[in-house]
Every structure is written in structure tokens, then in C-alpha cells.
Amino acid sequence: MTERVITRESVRTLDQEDSLSEFRSQFYLQEHTYYMDGNSLGLLSKKAEKALLTSLNDWKKHGIEGWTEGQQPWYYMSEKLGELTAPLIGAAPEEVINTGSITTNLHQLLATFYKPEGKRTKIIADALNFPSDIYALKSQIELHGLDPNEHLIQVESSNGHTLTEEDIIAAMDDTAALLLLPSVLYRSGQLLDIEQLTAAAHKHGIIAGFDLAHSIGALPHKLDQWDVDFAVWCTYKYLNSGPGGVGGLFVNQKHLGRKPGLAGWFSSKKEKQFDMDHELTPSDSAGAFQIGTPHILSSAPLLGSLEIFHEAGIEAVRQKSLKQTRLMMDMLHQELNEAGFQIATPLEDSQRGGHISLLHPEAASICKALKQEGVIPDYRSPNVIRLAPIALYTSFEEVYDVMMILKEIMNKGKHKQYKNERGIIA
């Protein structure tokens, strides 16, 4: 059987058939630039900009009354964002809150759910996770007077890029108190089977939590159906909330009403908060797991961004994303088969997130050459190039152009003029 040949005309046909193409005009795109780093920081949309300006105007017009009298009242903004986010992750509105940062939220939920007792003292994680999650896990173990070297179990990868659910499940026993895993591995883009892992954890009496940083906004979730205990995420990647945008968390309704491990001002039940009682009456929603006052100007853009997701539909976003990453991989096979690249991302749609990861010994210098040609990639030491076509604002023809630019770089050795080492920020 003859393999399909990918041409510019064939990808233009994909763009003509793209039901999400209308959303591209909602984002601020730079001319002569191919933005492939939306899995690190999403682009600004006009709706996010408008929402931020609305909150600024509420401050300008109302002062402190903006908490209750503004066009988008600040006192209830976190709950409103939780309600808007809930459909993206398959949760009820009361289970979701927009608050803090991803690591602050992780500390909060670890402080709430990690209760080492008797022989059940260990946390199961993985050896490929983003460093900040591991920092948080180690520090929480130490706060209980335990040694992370003994009580943190990091499941190893057999190939350095992906994990197997079987290996993770094999690490589960009655000495484990909690499981924390990424939904999508940041380096390779592998999507784990959250449902299978949660069921296995519960079979062993283990609390199951997930870091959704690299999946929320890129693919649908069914956290309630899968019976996940808790989850955390950032909003500045696929959700396009802006640099340092406020994070989010999910707590399964079966745990609502539990006292937060780290109580604070906004942990309170809304109608009781200004009683100023020194005994906390926690909210009976996920709002209980807030700590401080909401960061309004870092939350407001998400109101506009989530409006776009509700118009587009997360299922449609996922289907286009899969087609675009598939196109990238097919073009790599067609145009760069002899260029020394290895695809670290699983080929199966069911095991792939929203980006692909290419391995190459000269990855750092290749990324520098790509930037010189107007392509914004993402580099991860020592040899990973991550490319993320974003369904809401990347066209299929742009994917084609990026791969042809990469082909030209490799054919002409344009990357050889750059040092193969990362900058301070990669």
C-alpha cells in the first residue's frame, strides 16, 4: 500500500475543513512567527485582554466596592472560574476553584490528604516528573519527620522518556498513602491512563492525585467518572491565562467538607468569612482549599480565555490537536527521516498529549536555528525539542511550514553556527 504524500495543497485542504479556524483571529499572533510553545505559555486572546481590562476598570471605577459591585465582582471570581473550568475536566462546579499557583495548590492538597500513619507512609510518584512536584513531595514528607529517600517512591522509566501503567501499579501496596502523577509527561508528551491508575490506587487504599499542567485545555478529562481524589494545574499553558496566571485545583465531592490542611482567609464559607471568628468554618466546596485573597488581575484573563473554550468545545480542540501532532510526526517521517531525530512521544492517539518531543544530540543548537527562522520551539535539556501546535490558533499549513523549515535547517547545517548549549532559561 502506497503511503500518503503530504503536500502544501493537502494541508491547505485540512485548513479549509477546520471548524476551529475562526478562533485564530481571536489571538494576537505575530507576523512571520510560528509559535510552537503554547504548552509553556499560551498566547494572549482578545477576550482575555478584555476581561483583564474590565477588572482594571472595576478597580478604577469602584475601588474597594469592586469586590461586590464591579462588572465581574472579585469576591466570587474564583468560584465563577471554577464553574467555567469544570466542564473541561469532567467535574461539578463545586469541586473546582481557581486559586494560588500549581505548587501552592499541590502543597495545600498534600497537607490535606497525605496523612502518614502506621506502615502507610509512602508517596508514589515517578522519575520523569517536573522538578517542582518532586520538591513539594519531598518537603511534605520531611514536614512529617520522614526521610524522602525512604518514603518517596519514584517509578523509573525503562527508556528515559515514557512510563508504563504496569510499572506504576506494581509499586502500589499497603505501605503507600498517596499517589501523585502527571496526566501528561512534560518531556515526552505521553498521556497516562488516569482511570486505570486511579482504580488501581483505590484498590490498594491509596489516595490518587494528578498534575494536569500539560493536559488541561488540550484534551477532555472525566475526573468524577474516574473517581480521582484531587488534581492541580496551571492555567498559563493551554488555557492561555497569561504569565503567572492563577492556578486551579479539583477536590472530589466525596472529600468536600474536609478541613483544609493549610487554612487561610478565603478557606472560609463565604457568608461566614466576615464574622471574623477565630474558628474557621470552611467552605463546603473546593473553595475551602483556597489560602489567601484571590489574585484578581492574574485571574481575570482566564474569564475571557475560558469563554473561547466553551465556544470551541474541548472535544473539537482535542481532535484537531491529535491531527496536528500526527501531521508533524508524519512529516518528520516523510521529510526528515535521515536527519537523526527520534520521536519520544507515543504514536498512539490515546497515549499522546498536545505536544510532540523530538530527540536529537544537537537539540539546543537546532532550537536556536529554529528561532532565527521565526519558529518558537521549546528546549528541554539535554536533547529534547518540544513542539506544540495549539488547536485554537495554529493552522495546519503552519505545521507544514515548521517541518519544512526544520528540514532546511538540517539539510544546510544552519544549526552548526550555534553552540549546542541552553541559555539561562530554556
CA distance 376 to 291: 36
From the CA atom positions of the chain, what is the Rg in Å? 22
**What global pTM score does this model have?**
0.96
* Beta pairing class for 384-387 and 378-380: antiparallel
CA distance 71 to 66: 8
Task: Count how many Cα atoms sit within 13 Å of the Cα of residue 206 in the half-sphere of its side chain.
Answer: 30
What is the pLDDT at residue 2?
A: 41
Query: All domains of the chain, ordered by start, with CATH?
Result: 8-31+314-417 (3.90.1150.10), 49-311 (3.40.640.10)
Low-confidence ranges of the chain (pLDDT < 70): 1-3, 426
Task: Count how many Cα atoms sit within 13 Å of the Cα of residue 249 in the half-sphere of its side chain.
Answer: 27
Helices vs. strands in the chain: H and E counts, helices first: 14, 13
**Segment 15-35, tens digit of pLDDT:** 999 999 999 999 999 999 999
What is the pLDDT at residue 246?
A: 97
What is the pLDDT at residue 49?
A: 98
CA distance 288 to 269: 7
- Which residues have C-beta within 8 Å of that of residue 137, sequence separation ≥ 6? 110, 123, 125, 148, 152, 180
In our burial notation (b when 16+ CB lie closer than 10 A, e otherwise), range 237-267 reads bbbbbbeebbbbbbbbeebbeeebbbbbebb
Q: If DSSP codes are grouped into helix, strand and coil, which group holds residue 244?
A: coil
Cell numbers 518531543 correspond to 357
Q: Please provide the DSSP assignment of 280-333 as one string.
A: --B-SSGGGG--S---HHHHHHHHHHHHHHHHH-HHHHHHHHHHHHHHHHHHHH
What is the pLDDT at residue 3?
A: 65
What is the pLDDT at residue 86?
A: 98
